[in-house]
Amino acid sequence: MRKLATAVVAAGLFFGGMGVAVADSWHGLTMTTTGAEFKGSYMWEPQLQKHGGLRVKGSLKDASNDDDHNVYLRARVKGYSWIRIKGVQKKTTPIDHTFYDGALLLTSQVEVQTCRDRGSLRPDNCSANKVFTRR
């Protein structure tokens, strides 16, 4: 009887862990706009790991080498201002960043865009705003 109870508890922990692993798995992410491109993936970090934020990993590429403009990835956690992660002109930049709200243990919503920096006189052009909400 004791062995059966131990087996049932072990099976429950195993299948419960599988559910958490599937919920926190990587998902593909592609964002493009004129002159800028981001290809990679994202995942929600667990609550007590890296502040429970949205982790984005991939490559930020300057897709128009001849335009002399820089590219950047920008994101904001709900209730905060935009954060920029700058790319390099005429190159591809590796990105691995976690966006989180420092006041909370569990970030629930993050917006992300890929943009081309066109200088101070002309507005930047950005990809469609992607909103990620934790379920």
9 pLDDT tier (thresholds 50, 70, 90): low
CATH for the stretch 26-133:
2.60.40.10
Residue spans of the domains in the chain: they are 26-133
In the predicted structure, residue 86 carries a pLDDT above the cut 50 = yes
In the predicted structure, residue 81 carries a pLDDT above the cut 70 = yes
Contact 115, 71 (CB under 8 A): yes
Q: How much of the chain exceeds pLDDT 90, in percent? A: 63
Q: What gap in Å lies between CA 75 and CA 130, rounded to an integer?
A: 9
User: What local confidence, expressed as pLDDT, does residue 51 receive?
Assistant: 83
| pTM of structure | 0.77
In the predicted structure, residue 34 carries a pLDDT above the cut 60 = yes
Mean pLDDT on 21-39: 87
